[in-house]
Amino acid sequence: MFPKQPVSKVQWIDIDKIEANDYNPNSVAQNEMSLLYLSIKNDGYTQPIVTIKKGDQFVIVDGFHRYLVMKNYQDIYDRTEGKLPIVVIDKDIKERMASTIRHNRARGKHSVKGMASLVFSMLEEGWEDAQICKELGMEAEELIRLKHVTGFSKLFENTEYNKAWTTRRQIKLEKKFKEEGLERFRAFINRMSWREAKTWAITAPHSYIMKVKIPEAEKEPFMEFCNFIRQFGYKKMWWKREFTYVDIDGYKYWCMDDDVGINREVKSE
């Protein structure tokens, strides 16, 4: 009756030809997995696994845990001779990610950590912020929060906000995260031993730290501070070059090329 609807074309496929994707942020507790097993044991498979075709294999878009029940429980495997009901949709990688999220969110099942990782993957694939919000049914503030979950060093590098859709709520959240970042980086700054730049002692007196010289435990905060400077700093020309600066407690800070070091100088009035 409706040939273009995937559910009209359910297939029973050997489980060995079905594989999980590597981006699903959905997580299920052990007790929920046990309940899912009981449901399938008593009622059978009432929903097909949503997949895409990849060569001779079928990659799961939605239904991983129903697939996992058959993998883990021999009685479920035996009941259908190791075959799972599936439907196939035609999606590229970006669309598949969005489809997985939509299925999860519709059921209210997705982990924040997994969502943040997926959003990062979508950004790497070239998705715009506004497009992510539209496709995933997500508010701008939720996207900002997810960008912060895994830290500045992973989610803010080479990422710019789309100013055309900035909202007042988003601006307030950015301000809040900027203030929290300042407090965190004040502690980092105070832990560092700043060396005077002797070469520039007369023409441009300043001090610096080098990434290779700081303790290993401080390298992640170092990179986060560099990304913070890029994200929230202001641009200014110096000797025909443009640098990005942030002002903190009477000093201005900027990063060296390739983030090998961070400079600071007393901010002039």
- Nearest to 65, CA basis, from 101, 33, 87: 33
Average pLDDT over residues 97-101: 61
* Whether 144 and 85 share a structural domain: no
Residues 6+ apart with CB under 8 A from 79: 44
For 109-157, the pLDDT digits (tens) are 445 555 666 676 676 666 777 777 777 666 777 777 666 654 433 434 4
Mean pLDDT of all residues in 213-222:
92
Confidence tier at 227 by pLDDT (50, 70, 90): confident
pLDDT at residue 159, as a whole number = 41
For residue 259, what are the contacts with CB-CB under 8 A and spacing of at least 6? 211, 222, 223, 226
HSE, CB side, 13 Å, CA atoms: give it for residue 192.
26
Whether 100 and 115 map to the same domain: the answer is no
Task: Looking at the structure, tell me whether residues 73 and 115 fall in a common domain.
Answer: no
Same structural domain, 99 and 130:
no
Task: Name which of 119, 153, 148 is nearest 136 in CA terms.
Answer: 119
State pLDDT tens for residues 73-84: 999 999 999 999
- Taking CA atoms, 141 is separated from 7, 16, 130, 148, 169, in Å, by 34, 41, 12, 11, 7
Do residues 135 and 221 both lie within one domain? no
Whole-angstrom Cα distance, residue 116 to residue 151? Answer: 10
Residue 181 lies in a domain: no
Range of the domain at 50: 1-109
183 within some domain: no
pLDDT-above-70 percentage for the chain: 67
Which residue is it, tokens 């999606």? 91
Most confident listed range (106-110, 223-227, 249-253) = 249-253
Cβ(227)–Cβ(234) below 8 Å? no
